[in-house]
């Protein structure tokens, strides 16, 4: 068969230390991504208190104006969408490794700059924050297609799903780290300074949000050296660059491989020439169009719900009374309580969901896990939304939080993991990073819809935010129903996605079939027997 011998060796290679090293190196990027994207949700209320407090309303702590709140929460997602597309495309043109370091440098620099201000006015601070969070998101966007593609191209086919899912599971640890860092920083400031009266903001609170956001630079800095030491993946070097000897040499540097058959070396270089069509061609649409639609649409519908839940869970918890009203506590204490609530959800539901997916994805299969996750997310979201008034009663709040936590568990033991894994497996090597980037960008488009839409839709007509410029929405109950509908649509779109469990990347993409044809051509001439 004409499939490249080095790729055959990768498919059957035993799990080795370098596989785990690659998981950590790629996963630390996702740790940083999650920390940077979701830590801002802990400090948005603090920003409103510091920069938009109205002295004429002592019982109403300051709130970010609606357009500023939308920008602070959503601008990084806009940058991520652009980064998904740009770096996904660049990863197929320049190589995975060459682009990998650029994204990390962006994440490091912009994490630092997000905590700085060009000026002291509210307008200057928010403009600086939004500018650098856009470029932070741009770097984060590149990490999605590159990390997924690199891990899929290093892995063997037996445990490939678990390896890619383990990289993505580092996102859960990043969310947890964001909560823990916020708890530590806010607790340290509460113990070091006078807290001030309830509802008030002490001057030192301005340092709290800056330290929390800037800490995201630490894991990025720690990861850079090891990323630069990684060799280019063999699949990119062999199938796209068409240098099989270099691919073999690179893999032998980090993995112990066994080559079963040396006779295919003569046709190996030709295998990569079999794909002459482009990503915008009719041939690509015929072969992979439905799959790309499936991966993109399922990720889109997932992220509408997933990012709405993550970015605005503090507002949901405040609405049901689990987090006390802002005017009953000072600003730093509010950060502490929000961080504690989000850490509890991450520890009890988010992280277990990720690792359940890692443990079972190569046993149950990607599509089955995705369908199951969307089904239970829909079920639990409607269970929260339809009897919403029941859950807001004091005696039933813990029940609400438990069901809400289950939606996070089945998001991560479900489509939040599989939508990341599948696009890295089912497309040809020379389109793999681009197609993953397109799918991830569709997801971020959904996240933007969720972030901006939920912000406005969740406001009730008598909510205090309306007094400060927010248009009246239709309330959290109906907003949760919309998120349930989005999950149901994600369930339906999953039927466009093929199962990739136990199959090689070249088999999924059709490259193995093309290589087989070329091998027979080389042995029998163009008129080979069928």
Token pair recorded at residue 465: 């935010």
The region of weakest confidence among 141-145, 169-173, 225-229, 298-302 is 225-229
Question: Rounded distance, CA 449 to CA 457, Å?
Answer: 11
pLDDT tens string 36-59? 988 888 888 889 888 887 665 656
Split at pLDDT 50, 70, 90, the class of 460 is low
Range with top average pLDDT, 147-151, 340-344, 416-420, 520-524: 416-420
Q: Is the pLDDT of residue 319 over 80?
A: no
pLDDT value for 158: 86
pLDDT at 354: 93
Query: Which comes out higher in pLDDT, residue 90 or 275?
Result: 90
Task: For residues 77 and 458, give the distance between their C-alpha atoms in angstroms, rounded to a whole number.
Answer: 20
pLDDT category of residue 519 using cuts at 50, 70 and 90: very low
Please state, in angstroms and as integers, the Cα–Cα distance from residue 180 to each residue in 94, 173, 197, 338, 403, following that order.
Answer: 38, 10, 25, 11, 23
CATH of the domain at 484: 1.20.1250.20
pLDDT over 50 (residue 189): yes
Lowest mean pLDDT segment, chosen from 97-101, 116-120, 465-469 = 465-469
| DSSP structural state of residue 349 | I
320 pLDDT band, cuts 50/70/90, is: low
| Position 260 pLDDT exceeds 60 | no
pLDDT of the residue at 268: 43
* Residue partners of 390: CB distance under 8 A and separation at least 6: 396
Q: Point out the least confidently predicted range of 102-111, 140-149, 399-408.
A: 399-408
Q: Do the beta carbons of residue 385 and residue 480 sit within 8 Å?
A: yes
Query: Would residue 484 count as lying in a domain?
Result: yes
Q: What is the pLDDT of residues 351-384, one digit of tens each?
A: 999 999 999 999 999 999 999 999 999 999 999 8
State the chain's mean pLDDT as an integer: 82
Position 528 in a domain? no
Residue 335 has pLDDT above 60, yes or no: yes
Predicted local confidence at residue 274, as pLDDT: 45
pLDDT at 504: 85
Q: Can you tell me the distance from the alpha carbon of 459 to that of 416, in angstroms, rounded to the nearest whole number? A: 27
Place 83 in a pLDDT band, splitting at 50, 70 and 90.
very high
Can you state the angle between helices 66-94 and 17-51, rounded to 10 degrees? 160
Q: What average pLDDT does the segment 267-277 reach?
A: 49
pLDDT top residue among 37 and 467: 37
- Which residue is associated with the tokens 């939304």? 385
369: Cβ contacts below 8 Å, ≥ 6 apart = 357, 360, 361, 413, 414, 417, 418
By C-alpha distance, which of 347, 30, 358 is closest to 163? Answer: 358
pLDDT score for 56: 55
In this structure, is residue 337 part of a structural domain?
Answer: yes
At residue 196, the pLDDT reads 53
Mean pLDDT across the stretch 152-159? 87
pLDDT at residue number 270: 44
Is 527 within a domain? no
Query: Of 6-10, 199-203, 205-209, where does mean pLDDT reach its minimum?
Result: 199-203
Q: How confident is the model at residue 474 (pLDDT cuts 50, 70, 90)?
A: low
Tokens 């780290």 correspond to what residue?
177
CA quadruple 242, 246, 250, 252: dihedral, nearest 10: 110
Q: Number of folded domains in the chain?
A: 1
CA-to-CA separations, 18 to 136, 149, 168, 255, 522, in angstroms, rounded: 29, 16, 17, 7, 36
Q: Does residue 525 form part of some domain?
A: no
Domain that holds residue 178: 5-261+273-520
194 assigned to some structural domain:
yes
- Is the Cβ–Cβ distance between 292 and 424 less than 8 Å? no
In a domain, 267, yes or no: no
Q: Which residues contact 526 (CB under 8 A, 6 or more apart)?
A: none
Residue 431, helix vs strand vs coil: helix
Q: Is 131 a domain residue?
A: yes
CA dihedral 356, 178, 40, 42 (to 10 degrees): 100
Q: Is the pLDDT of residue 516 over 70?
A: no
d(Cα 324, Cα 319) in Å, to the nearest integer? 9
The owner of tokens 């002291």 is 120
- Cβ atoms of 377 and 410 within 8 Å: the answer is yes
CA distance 367 to 501: 9
């Amino acid at each position: 068969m004409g499939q490249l011998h080095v790729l055959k060796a990768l498919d059957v290679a035993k799990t080795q230390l370098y596989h785990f090293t690659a998981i950590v190196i790629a996963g630390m990027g996702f740790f940083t991504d999650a920390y940077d994207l979701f830590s801002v949700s802990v400090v948005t209320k603090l920003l409103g208190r510091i920069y938009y407090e109205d002295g004429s309303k002592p019982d109403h702590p300051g709130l970010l104006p609606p357009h500023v709140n939308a920008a602070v929460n959503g601008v990084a997602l806009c940058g991520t969408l652009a980064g998904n597309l740009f770096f996904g495309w660049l990863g197929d043109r320049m190589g995975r490794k060459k682009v990998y370091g650029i994204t990390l440098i962006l994440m490091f620099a912009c994490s630092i700059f997000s905590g700085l201000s060009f000026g002291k006015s509210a307008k200057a601070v928010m403009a600086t924050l939004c500018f650098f969070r856009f470029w932070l998101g741009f770097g984060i966007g590149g990490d999605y297609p590159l990390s997924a593609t690199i891990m899929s191209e290093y892995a063997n086919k037996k445990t490939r799903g678990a390896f890619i899912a383990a990289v993505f599971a580092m996102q859960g640890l990043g969310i947890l780290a964001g909560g823990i860092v916020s708890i530590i920083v806010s607790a340290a400031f509460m113990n070091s300074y006078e807290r001030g009266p309830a509802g008030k903001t002490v001057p030192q609170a301005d340092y709290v949000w800056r330290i929390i956001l800037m800490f995201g630079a630490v894991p990025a800095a720690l990861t850079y050296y090891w990323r630069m030491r990684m060799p280019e993946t063999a699949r990119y070097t062999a199938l796209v660059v068409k240098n099989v000897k270099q691919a073999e040499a690179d893999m032998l540097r980090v993995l112990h491989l066994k080559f079963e058959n040396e006779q295919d070396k003569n046709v190996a270089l030709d295998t990569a020439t079999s794909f002459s069509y482009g990503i915008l061609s009719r041939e690509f649409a015929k072969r992979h169009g439905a799959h790309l639609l499936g991966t993109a649409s399922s990720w889109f519908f997932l992220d509408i719900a997933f990012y709405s839940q993550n970015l605005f869970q503090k507002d949901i918890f405040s609405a049901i009374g689990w987090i006390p009203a802002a005017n009953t506590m000072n600003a730093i204490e509010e950060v502490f309580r929000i961080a504690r609530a989000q850490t509890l959800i991450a520890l009890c539901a988010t992280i277990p969901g990720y690792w359940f997916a890692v443990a079972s994805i190569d046993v149950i299969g990607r599509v089955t896990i995705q369908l199951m996750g969307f089904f239970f997310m829909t079920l639990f979201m409607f269970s929260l939304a339809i009897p919403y008034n029941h859950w807001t009663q004091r005696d039933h709040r813990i029940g609400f939080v438990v069901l809400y936590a289950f939606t996070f568990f089945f998001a991560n033991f479900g489509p939040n993991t599989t939508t990341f894994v599948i696009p890295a497996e089912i497309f040809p090597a020379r389109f793999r990073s681009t197609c993953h980037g397109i799918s991830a960008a569709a997801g971020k488009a959904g996240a933007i819809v969720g972030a901006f839409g939920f912000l406005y839709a969740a406001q009730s007509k008598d909510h205090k935010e309306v007094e400060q410029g927010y248009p009246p929405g239709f309330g959290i109950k109906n907003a949760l129903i919309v998120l349930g509908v989005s999950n149901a649509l994600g369930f339906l779109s999953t039927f466009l996605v093929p199962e990739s469990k136990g199959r090689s990347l070249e088999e999924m993409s059709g490259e193995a079939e093309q290589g087989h044809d070329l091998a027979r051509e080389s042995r029998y001439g163009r008129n080979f027997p069928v």
